[in-house]
Amino acid sequence: RARDMGFDVDAYHGTDADILRFDPSKEFRGAGVSVAFDPINAAGYGSTVMPLKVKSADLFNITRNKDVKKLVDAVKSYHADNLKKSAYADDGQQNFYPYSLDQVLNGIKAGKSNFLELPEVTDILKKLGFKGHIGREGPFSQAKIFDPQNIRSRFAKFDPAKADSADLLA
């Protein structure tokens, strides 16, 4: 049932909290819920490693060239639109503070995941229809899932009637 509902990838979340549903506002870095694809990586974030299933459809992948091109084009467009609306123009830092437009574009092209967590870039990814993003943290692949309804415990019921729930056991 999990696969039929789109929950097709194993993931892990390291925490010291008792979690029944994720609250993306409690994340300390970037919008969404952080998950790792390796339990050893997740263990670095807390004493409890939660085994999860996530929906991989519509996740931006920083290693996929077509995704990177789409994001780079959208970031350029976003920047140009905001400069037109601005009462002043600068080197782009007003849009991506403390980074310039070139730093953001070059970081994304170089596969640096930290640029995906900038609020403006997250908003752009959402507008492009992505449900989260997959990036790298050192040797590990990790994801940021924007909406908790796309995450379930591996022990969930996977009840189709509760497909829109953010409850980990739904």
Average pLDDT in the 1-5 region? 94
Question: Is the CB of residue 152 less than 8 Å from the CB of residue 13?
Answer: no
**What is the SS3 assignment for 25-43?**
HHCCCCCCEEEECCHHHHH
User: What is the side-by-side strand order in the sheet with 7-15?
Assistant: 59-61, 132-137, 140-145, 33-36, 7-15, 48-55, 151-153
**The pLDDT of residue 24 is above 80:** no
Where is pLDDT greater, at 166 or 64? 64
Q: What is the pLDDT of residue 92?
A: 47
The model's pLDDT over 47-105, given as tens digits with 9 standing for 90+, comes to 999 999 999 999 999 999 999 999 999 999 998 887 666 555 554 455 687 888 999 99
Q: What is the pLDDT of residue 86?
A: 54
**The pLDDT of residue 12 is above 70:** yes
Q: SS3 for 112? A: coil
| pTM, two decimal places | 0.88
Distance CA 105, CA 103 (A): 6
Percentage of the chain exceeding pLDDT 90: 72
